[in-house]
Amino acid sequence: MADNLSEALKTLKLSSADSTSDSVESCLDCLLKALAHNNVEASEKIQEMGVLPMMPSLLATQNSCTPKVANIIAELAKNEFMRSPCVEAGLIPPLVQLLNCKDQEVLLQTGRALGNICYDSHEGRSAVDEAGGAQIVAEHIKALVHNTDPATGKLLTVFCGMLMNYSNDNDTLQAQLISMGVIPTLVKLLGVHAQNTALTEMCLIAFGNLAELESSKEQFASTNIAEELVRLFRKQVEHEKKEMIFEVLAPLAENDAIKLQLVEAGLVECLLDVVGQTVDSDREEDVAQLKTASDLMVLLLLGDESMQKLFEGGKGSVFQRVLSWVPSNNHQLQLAGALAIANFARNDGNCIHMVDTGIVQMLLELLDRHVEEGNVTVQHAALSALRNLAIPVVNKSKMLSAGVADVVLKFLQSEMPPVQFKLLGTLRMLIDTQADAADQLGTNCKLVERLVEWCEAKDHAGVMGESNRLLSALIRHSKSKEVVGTVIQCGGVKHLVTMATSEHMIMQNEALVALGLIAALDLDSAEKDFVGATLVQVLHKLLTEEKSAPEIKYNSMILICSVMGSEPLHKEVQSLAFIDVVSKLRSHENKTVAHQASLTEQRLTAQS
């Protein structure tokens, strides 16, 4: 074989000028045979003998040899080490030229050659881009979309593969294909050629690549991709095929318009079927499919319209089926069920309905199962759902009566920041406007100590922020001297003073109101902490800073008046010449601030 190949290559070099001769054709046949026998070895030999630079001239004159030359290039380019040499030998421009011919065999082999040269090759892609190859291929696909004969199907598969290799993992080239209008064409292909397995697979892989790009979502949304994918999904029995469709659905379902289209096309029923078929299986692929299907279900519920459509006033069969996941013994389904409830609980109407129909109890039982088992993702999801359900005012007392706070407190020892964060948020939502609950929790030393500890969690800004906000909320909603006493005793005052300097106005305000209540209810006990935390200096800064909001200035002045009863704090106020700062604020554009400035000035003057 090797000798034959060497002979053929020599002959080819000699007779390349006369590309129509029989000797050229028999040499090409010999090359193809050698490549089929041992591609790598034959490719190395062809490279070694310097035959590649002759290929452009062989491609330039179209005849019966042309498809064979293109086929040889396609075979050579299966090897990574041959792709750059193919580009360097100038093969791309003549190959792209061949895309303009009408001969189907030439088009097929040329498509293969270009596709293989582009595979994982930056040089190959750049050269095809420069020669305008993608545009011609895209136009061919568009023109052939409705042609269903097998030979055309094969050509379309090759062309789709070529575009995929051309643009894979390259945002710029993918964006170029999108702007050429490739997406609607491929969606049509999927519909017309649904029986052609190879072509539908190629379309799916292309969709998977393009769907990652944000700019593609609008184009996809304007096609009937949702219907086509759901139709295709229903037909599949093999795990791999379903997986391929899932890989396209996941990025597409991030778009709200497509979410709704998928729901309307019946994807949810397909997902529920997958869950039903895989829930009791231990097979690795079934476990993976269950996770993918239930995750996708949760993703569909992130769209407001798609979520509301499936909720159906709390009577929807999908809503009921998803609820049944929560008490199951499968962690993945428990997780998806809790996340689904959290997603359904995105407006007051849904939340009120869910609390009235006993969903809180279901979540509490789930959490109880995970105090010991400790599946963090399930804990996090169930707490997220409870936090959302606690937002409407009418739900708070009902949830407190159901024992939500007691169950949530069982997770106080968790060392997982995501769980800590949701636990804090849930308690903060529950006690909002609920004085008794705030009183009860605010005198729970274990809770307050843990909050003070988390107020120092500098590695976890979310936990730190939520701890401060809950500490402040316990005081603001209880307005109780006992709660204030517990916070002082546990060392929480300094954190509230720091919170008053937060970059978030809402947190600054919450801190100032809580500090005002501490000063009003138990100034003597807090005095030492106020001095230690430099409260007066902080207030001076808040009042002198231009960027401080009117509410911040107002609450800072209220607080100044409240601390005047303490001798050391009174001295600090005098030493910082607060009267000058406050008198300037009498002309503040905000009337409430200006009025409070007058009152504060009178108070400071009277006590100086």
Q: How far apart are CA 585 and CA 566, in angstroms?
A: 24
Question: Per the structure block, which two tokens stand in for 504?
Answer: 């978030």
What are the two backbone dihedrals, phi and then psi, of residue 193, each rounded to the nearest 5 degrees? -110, 35
Q: How far apart are CA 481 and CA 217, in angstroms?
A: 56
Residue 313 DSSP label? G
Q: What is the pLDDT of residues 551-566, one digit of tens each?
A: 999 999 999 999 999 9
Residues of the chain with confidence (pLDDT) below 70: 1-3, 13-21, 373, 608
One DSSP character per residue, 100-158 reads: TS--HHHHHHHHHHHHHHHTT-HHHHHHHHHHTHHHHHHHHHHHHTT--SHHHHHHHHH
Q: What is the pLDDT of residues 145-166, one digit of tens each?
A: 999 999 999 999 999 999 999 9
Out of 3.30.465.10, 3.50.50.60, 1.25.10.10, 1.25.40.10, the CATH code matching 1-131 is 1.25.10.10
Task: Please tell me the predicted confidence (pLDDT) of residue 62.
Answer: 82
Write the single-letter amino acid at 354.
Answer: M
- In the chain, where the domains are located: 1-131, 447-522, 534-607
- What is the maximal distance between C-alpha atoms in the chain? 116
Nearest to 426 by CA among 469, 457, 383, 392: 383
Task: Please tell me the predicted confidence (pLDDT) of residue 212.
Answer: 87
CA dihedral (62, 63, 69, 74) positive or negative: positive
Run of H or E including 557: helix 550-563
Task: Please tell me the predicted confidence (pLDDT) of residue 26.
Answer: 85
- The whole-model pTM stands at 0.84
Task: Please tell me the predicted confidence (pLDDT) of residue 9.
Answer: 75
Q: CA angle 467-469-473, nearest 5°?
A: 115
Question: Do the beta carbons of residue 455 and residue 468 sit within 8 Å?
Answer: yes
Q: How far apart are CA 182 and CA 464, in angstroms?
A: 49
Question: Per the structure block, which two tokens stand in for 428?
Answer: 């903060």
Q: How far apart are CA 282 and CA 330, in angstroms?
A: 11
Residue whose entry in the numeric block shows the structure tokens 């088992």: 373
Question: Do the beta carbons of residue 463 and residue 414 sit within 8 Å?
Answer: no
Q: How far apart are CA 560 and CA 424, in angstroms?
A: 30
Question: Do the beta carbons of residue 601 and residue 585 sit within 8 Å?
Answer: no
Residue 173 three-state SS = helix
